[in-house]
Amino acid sequence: MFDLTNPIFQDADKAREHLESINWPNGPFCPHCGETENVHRLQGKSHRAGLIQCNSCLKNFTVTVGTVFERSKISLNKWMLATYLLASSKKGISAHQIHRMLGVTYKTAWFMMHRVREAMKDDGSPLGGPGQVIESDEVIVGGKKKRRLSGKVAPKKKVVTLVERGGRARSFHITHIDHTNIRAALVTNCHRSSHLRTDDARFYNRIGEEFASHETTLHSNREFSRGDGNHSNTAENFFSILKRGVVGTYHHWSATHIHRYLAEFDFRYSSKDDSDRERADAMLKGIVGKRLTYRRTDKLAA
């Protein structure tokens, strides 16, 4: 288990060594050509720490090349700390808090957090499978109606979440809660051989016919379980954490960036049985092959 006095949070070289141990367990490999044997470290006084040369393609690289950390001027120990804090904060941590704790500008902290959330996206493999249960439910997050009408807060956002019992969660921002959008989320992300459990929304009746079985509970009648695992309470539990994150930490998610915030809560839920260190290390593995430039974030919105 890590604590905040660990050297990887204080020393950039220790942080780099830790990142190399996570992403290069069998030694360095060239991200440009894939070479694993014919590479060597450059240790001259004029070379920066961690620089490696590939003798096959004659290009230099470090462990951050081809990752969300590439070309960042923020020291790696601060990246390690930001990653650990986001991994261990059940309801999220605001960019303003990161800005104060790491001693960087708010604009830098905001962008750092979105880059880390990019690493939290899962591989997109289908949820469920034969004998497994998928729960589907929807939630609306946002400010109170009277404040929305006054223009003081943004419109509410509609979210559908698919939860694999005992496994992963995957959430999506949708424009309307209807048959078309819910079906698209389910059939593109879940095995049809799964057992579907939902509430009594009418559009699920037809969607459920495409799965191994479909059972509902009548939420409109305050019925939340019929026994024998017939409920969607797992998804409701996920929403309880999601809403606390919105209300207590982030306050507002823009439509431009809501998919990254959802990936954050999905990741922490899907790795809920891991320790904070295991979760943070999994995030560090997820940085590979992903880039997010400031221009791609479209606009500055918290």
pLDDT of residue 225: 86
Percent of the chain whose predicted confidence (pLDDT) is above 90: 79
For the stretch 61-77, pLDDT in tens is 999 999 999 999 999 99
| More confident: 44 or 97 | 97
Q: Domain 133-253: which CATH class? A: alpha beta
For the stretch 92-140, pLDDT in tens is 999 999 999 999 999 999 999 999 999 999 999 999 999 999 999 999 9
Rounded-to-integer distance, Cα 264 and Cα 113, Å: 10
At residue 173 the predicted structure's pLDDT band, cuts being 50, 70 and 90, is very high
* Closest residue by Cα to residue 258 from 164, 135, 117, 162: 117
pLDDT of residue 251: 86
pLDDT of residue 296: 54
pLDDT at 40 over 50: yes
Rounded-to-integer distance, Cα 60 and Cα 72, Å: 16
pLDDT at 301 over 70: no
pLDDT of residue 205: 94
pLDDT of residue 151: 56
Instruction: Output phi, psi for 157, to 5 deg.
Output: -115, 140
* Closest residue by Cα to residue 127 from 235, 53, 261, 201: 235
For the stretch 242-256, pLDDT in tens is 999 998 999 888 889
pLDDT at 142 over 80: no
pLDDT average, residue stretch 188-195: 97
Could you please report the per-residue DSSP string of 183-228? HHHHHHHB-TTSEEEE-S-THHHHHHTTSSEEEE--GGGT----ST
**DSSP-derived pairing of the beta strands 60-61 and 213-216:** unpaired
Report the mean per-residue pLDDT for the chain: 91
* Closest residue by Cα to residue 163 from 141, 194, 140: 194
Where is 145: in which H helix or E strand? helix 145-149
CA distance to 138, 203, 207, per residue, from 187 (Å):
16, 14, 9
pLDDT average, residue stretch 200-218: 94
pLDDT average, residue stretch 53-61: 95
pLDDT of residue 302: 38
pLDDT of residue 127: 97
Name the amino acid, one letter, at 286. Answer: G
Rounded-to-integer distance, Cα 171 and Cα 262, Å: 6
pLDDT of residue 1: 66
pLDDT of residue 146: 59
- Domain borders along the chain are 1-9+71-120+266-302, 133-253
- What percent of the residues of the chain are helix, what percent strand, and what percent coil, each to the nearest 5? 40, 15, 45
For the stretch 148-172, pLDDT in tens is 555 556 678 999 999 999 999 999 9
Say if residue 227 is exposed, middle or buried (CB neighbours under 10 Å; 0-12, 13-18, 19+): exposed
Q: Tell me the pTM.
A: 0.91
pLDDT of residue 147: 55
**DSSP-derived pairing of the beta strands 39-41 and 52-54:** antiparallel
pLDDT at 44 over 90: no
